[in-house]
Amino acid sequence: MKTKVWLLILLVVVLLAVVGEYALYYRPMAQVYHTAMEKSAIAPYEEAQKSLTEAVKSLSGRPLTDQWVKELTARKDEMLLQEADRAVAAGELTYAAQLLETADPDRAKALIQEAEERAHAQALKDAYEEALSLEQAGRDEDALAAFRALEEYEDASERANAIEARMAFAAAQAVFTGTNFDEVIAALNALDTAEGRAAAEAIEQQKQAWIEQRRQQFAAKSAGRITAGAWHTAALGASPWIAGDGRYGAAPAEADHVFSGLTSVFFLRDGKVLTTGETFGAEETIAALNNVKKVAPGLVHGLFLLRDGTVIAIGSQALDRLPAEEWTGMVDVAAGAWHSLALRQDGTVEACGTNDHDQCAVKKWKNIVSIDAGLWHSVGLRADGTVVACGDNTYGQCDVRDWTGIVSISCGACTTVGLRSDGTVVACGDNGAGQCDVSGWKDIAAIAAGAYHTVGLGLDGRTVTAGSLPAPLPKEPLFSSDWIREDVVTQPEAKGAPTVYIQGEDTDVGPWLYMDDKGAVLICIDFSEERELFRTDMLATQDALPSGRVTNPSASGNYIIMPSALSAEQAQNHHAVLAFTGDFIGWTSNRKGVMIRNGVTYYDRDETGSLAIMPDGTLKFFPRGEVNAAQLTALGVRDSFSFGPLLVENGQRLVEQPLRNAEYTMRVVLAYSDPYHYLAVIAMRDRKVQMTHAMMADACVRYGCRMAYNLDGGHSTSLVFMGKELSMLTLRDTPHTNIRGLSDVIVFLENDKVGTPPEQPQATPES
């Protein structure tokens, strides 16, 4: 029993120990466990996680708490997964990934990737919305950049294209200045959109209306306002003026139209001809004309269109150059070298005269509104702005078939110039002096083409020019003829190409036109005189004046015996472009004055007056006893001539010769109209064509000469051009072949391409 008591006491003690242990140790631990578990059920995730973490930390490593630690850890992991699921459901993928980084690394990685994808998608959406707002705000450039950055997102590319098209359309419209129609139309059509095409069509309609307005402007400003000839320009500005060739005198104080030929100027006022360069032998007839609407001067004839449509023709009647009497009801006229044109009101054209280059082949022309003529070609402007041409096309002067939008035309010697409705200018033909270099001209109201230059009159009144008047000129000659060596270039290839115009085969009736870097020569046969004349214009430079040459350069002194030779032979020996009769220095019976040839004095007796070619480009006559050779040489004179008489001085005729005592013979006259512009006037077509001193003086006055001096004539009369003796030419079938050999000639311009003529007439004995 005692043992049982002690066992009982021991049990009680154990129980009391257990109860004490529980009360002192396990109970607080249990409380920690239960509190953490309860809190995990009701507290926010982070607070619950904190409580569970602290409980695990507190219970870990204690006796009898392992189970609690396991349960707390399981609860903690469970809550982590639940929180991760909630975060995923809430779209908080990055947060969920952070939660699972340790618990489930693979899922955490997947969530991070998904989060990035979602973030990118959201960024695209936000950028798209921003681009939309920029577009709605009218900020097209910013919106375009935003949509282009989105690339293929939604309809970003389509929206960007639309904005770009809209911007391009606006840009195309923005460059429109009111006149650059073609540029804007091209830009709009290049958009390849319905809107662009519609806008381009609208601009095209504006263009056509503007063109019509400009047509009317140009028509009002251009008619008879500016004109050009071989060596001159004339225009109506604040007051009429003439520039260049000075033979025409002063322009009138007032005029309403001006017209030119190669060597003539006509001003009109109220239908009256005020001043003229040439009268074609009919000064009184021209002065009596009234109601003149237009003048078309040719080389040796002129057409005067009256306001009633009548055409009056004045000048040479040779070769049927003038129109028939039935030319009435005309609205325009034009004259070439040897042909005439007239435009009828119905748009058809009549032509007559020389047709060796088909320059009169105008019968099929229709709907013509304007005409003009060069030396050997004819041009017509159609109502639709296109151009037609016929005649000589050696230099491409008839290559106008592709021209459009033309409102005005003008012909030079061998050029054609067209004015477009937009104020620009086109040109074709001979460009030896740069006269076709007009591509950069703008806002031009009127055009005029001369032999070597082209002139434009701007809407603002300015004058622009292209070409040479006359220097600098091309350097090498061009001549397609048996009279020249075969190595001469036969066609111009580019700007600066040489120029020699030849009329007809074997140069039968002229005109002849030559130019190089020293000067120019224009030769024509003037049929307006009772007896035809060779009229030779020489345009010189300071370094290339007309100069005398002799057959024996060593001969000199008071008594000269000098051999003679045909002029053509002398011209060939000196490679002369032009040569004509001098004063026959070797004729011992002639009373002589001072004779200097090419700087060498041959005779210095001063038995009569002498004519000197002065260094300033003029001619000057010195009466007997006034100067000697040394004095002339000191003045810079290299050539002086002594024959006479002096026919014209200060533009006035000096000789009076009654008809019954008039001596008719073939004659040579050296004259000048203004500095460096000389004329050789020669009557020698055949023995039936002979003139008096007075007749020659009258012709020189009509040509605008300030001074004219008679040289040797008769059978000594000779004119040689490029090795060709022109005195052998005739229209009367009676060649002048009995040419006397000469001791000297006057030459102008030299060129080593000049060859020996294939046949030369034999000199006749001097008589």
Tens digits of residue pLDDT in 631-647 = 999 999 999 999 889 99
Q: If you write DSSP's letter for every residue of 171-183 in order, what string do you get?
A: HHHHT--SS-HHH
As a whole-number percent, the residues of the chain with pLDDT over 70 amount to 79
Does residue 747 carry a pLDDT above 90? yes
One-letter amino acid of 767: S
- Would the pTM count as exceeding 0.85? no
Give the tens place of pLDDT for each residue, 538-553. Answer: 888 888 899 999 887 7
Residue 519 has what pLDDT?
79
Residue 529 has what pLDDT?
56
Residue 618 has what pLDDT?
92
Contacts of 527 (CB under 8 A, 6+ apart): 300, 301, 315, 316, 317, 318, 319, 321
For the chain, the 3-state helix, strand and coil shares in percent, each to the nearest 5, are: 30, 30, 40
- Does the domain spanning 225-467 belong to CATH 3.30.200.20? no
Cβ–Cβ contacts within 10 Å for residue 635, how many? 14
Residue 155 has what pLDDT?
81
Contact 546, 639 (CB under 8 A): yes
Distance, C-alpha 681 to centroid of its chain: 38
Select from 441, 385, 375, 442 the least CA-distant residue to 411: 375
- Cα separation, 749 vs 551, in Å, equals 18
Give the tens place of pLDDT for each residue, 431-471. Answer: 877 889 999 888 788 899 988 889 887 766 677 888 875 43
Give the tens place of pLDDT for each residue, 486-500. Answer: 332 233 333 343 455
Cβ–Cβ contacts within 10 Å for residue 560, how many? 19
* Out of 109-118, 293-302, 315-324, 751-760, least confident range: 315-324
Q: At CA 318, angle to CA 316 and CA 320, rounded to 5?
A: 105
Residue 86 has what pLDDT?
82
- Cα separation, 86 vs 111, in Å, equals 13
Give the tens place of pLDDT for each residue, 50-73. Answer: 877 787 787 787 776 788 778 877
Give the tens place of pLDDT for each residue, 546-600. Answer: 999 988 776 666 666 677 888 888 888 888 989 999 988 876 545 678 889 999 8
Taking the domains of the chain in order of start, what are their residue ranges? 2-90, 225-467, 507-591+611-626+641-750
- Ranges of H-type helices in 614-713: 629-634, 693-702
Contact 263, 278 (CB under 8 A): yes
Residue 122 has what pLDDT?
79
One-letter amino acid of 91: G
Mean pLDDT (the chain, rounded): 78
Contact 229, 261 (CB under 8 A): yes
Q: State the virtual CA torsion across 403, 265, 616, 630 in degrees, nearest 10.
A: 130
One-letter amino acid of 513: L
Q: Write the CA distances from 728 to 58, 234, 760, integer angstroms.
A: 144, 37, 10
- Cα separation, 644 vs 161, in Å, equals 90
